[in-house]
Amino acid sequence: MNAIIKFADPQASRLLRFPAHPIAGLAGTSFKHEHFSAILAERPAGGFFEVHAENYMGAGGPSHRALESIRRDYPVSLHGVCMSIGGPQPIDVAHLARFAALVERYEPALVSEHLAWSTHETTYFNDLLPLPYTEATLARVADHIDEVQEAIRRPILLENPSTYVLFRDSTMKETDFIRELARRSGCGLLLDINNVFVSATNHGFSAHDYLSDFPLDRVGEIHLAGHAEQADDENEPLLIDSHDGPVADAVWSLFDIVAGRCGPIPTLVEWDSNIPDWPVLKGEAMAAQAILNRYAQTFAFGSTHAVR
């Protein structure tokens, strides 16, 4: 099993507000308020829900009531979108305090953020923007992760990005950069397999090679999502990480390979725009669960390394 579950449980010593629903081996979906009544009516067994932290940073109101209800019945993954961990400027301490308060309030099973940035000076761009991979950015981003982990008193999972450009200044491979970040900061990793496929297509490398290089032993969660296709200046395919459709076949194949190597890691199907009816999204999660279950049996018999 993976390293991430060896981290000390920060909640072990105190009283919990919510049940400690285990998340190991489960497939889940993004939690969208438009699905809330369908979820309440169906009360699906198993699974987990992931929420974007920023949507719950209001003081009160119906969004908190909905998340409290979901959290009582299911494991929840708290996914931060705009901490700008990958940015050159210091972490916004007010934002970090809000994030820490949510971790405290909802006791999520998983906490994650992105290797990206979205704020420059005071302007928030609402997109996950890329960074150059250099010794200097490595040191700064590792410091940012330390700061976040100290504030929330537990490790985060850091997500690999999808990118459309490369930086001329980069001196390291993304996989080396991420491995070293995890080693220095002690963070776990969120492996977004759609992002791997999107970036591999966009930059002309092999997704299989990327996954072979990736420190899979630190992966605590997997993301799957749909993407869209455009063309670049040379009319080569340019994939967009759009989260607006079903998971692509090629991404399912890569997921199967990763699940075979890592065992049943919590796996999320993201769908953030053109959101379908609940049964469609749930169907995607059930497809992921079937793959996880297949490998759960293999791993239950202790053959973790035999399948590598």
Partner 1 sequence: MLSADPSSLGGRAKPNYGAMFSSALLKPEQAVPDCVAGPHGRTASRRYSVYRNNVTFSLIEALASIYPAVQRITGVEFFRAMARFHVRANPPRSPLLFEYGRDFPDFIEQYEYAQPLPWLADVARIERAWLDCYHAADAEPLSATALASVPAERLAKLVFVPHPAVRIVRSGFSSVSIFAANRNAGPIAPVHAVDPEDALIIRPGQDVVVRHLPAGGAAFLTRLIEGAALAVAVSAALEATPSFDLSANIAGMIEAGVFATIQDGDPQ
Task: Kindly list the residues in this chain that would bind partner 1 in the complex (CB under 8 A).
Answer: 54-55, 57-65, 82, 84, 87-89, 92, 95, 117-120, 122-127, 129-132, 137, 164-169, 202-204, 230-234, 238, 240
Least CB distance to partner 1 at residue 238 (A): 7
Helix (H, G, I), strand (E, B) or coil at 295: helix
Q: What single-letter DSSP state applies at residue 60?
A: S
Q: Which is nearer to partner 1, 21 or 52 (CB)?
A: 52
DSSP string for residues in 61-122:
SHHHHHHHHHHHHS-EEEE-S---TTSSSPP-HHHHHHHHHHHHHH--SEEEEESSEEEETT
DSSP string for residues in 12-58:
TTS--SS-----TT-EEEE--GGGHHHHHHH--SS-EEEEEGGGG-S
Q: Which is nearer to partner 1, 22 or 58 (CB)?
A: 58
Least CB distance to partner 1 at residue 265 (A): 28
Least CB distance to partner 1 at residue 7 (A): 27
Q: Which is nearer to partner 1, 182 or 198 (CB)?
A: 198
Count how many residues are written for the chain.
Answer: 308
Q: Which is nearer to partner 1, 92 or 143 (CB)?
A: 92
Least CB distance to partner 1 at residue 274 (A): 12
Q: Which is nearer to partner 1, 10 or 229 (CB)?
A: 229
Least CB distance to partner 1 at residue 114 (A): 12
Instruction: Write out the two tokens for 303.
Output: 């053959």
Least CB distance to partner 1 at residue 221 (A): 22
Question: How far apart (Å, rounded) are the C-alpha atoms in residues 126 and 83?
Answer: 11
CB-based contact 53:299 (threshold 8 Å): no
> What does residue 20 show for φ and ψ, rounded to 5 degrees?
-90, 70
Q: Which is nearer to partner 1, 172 or 287 (CB)?
A: 172
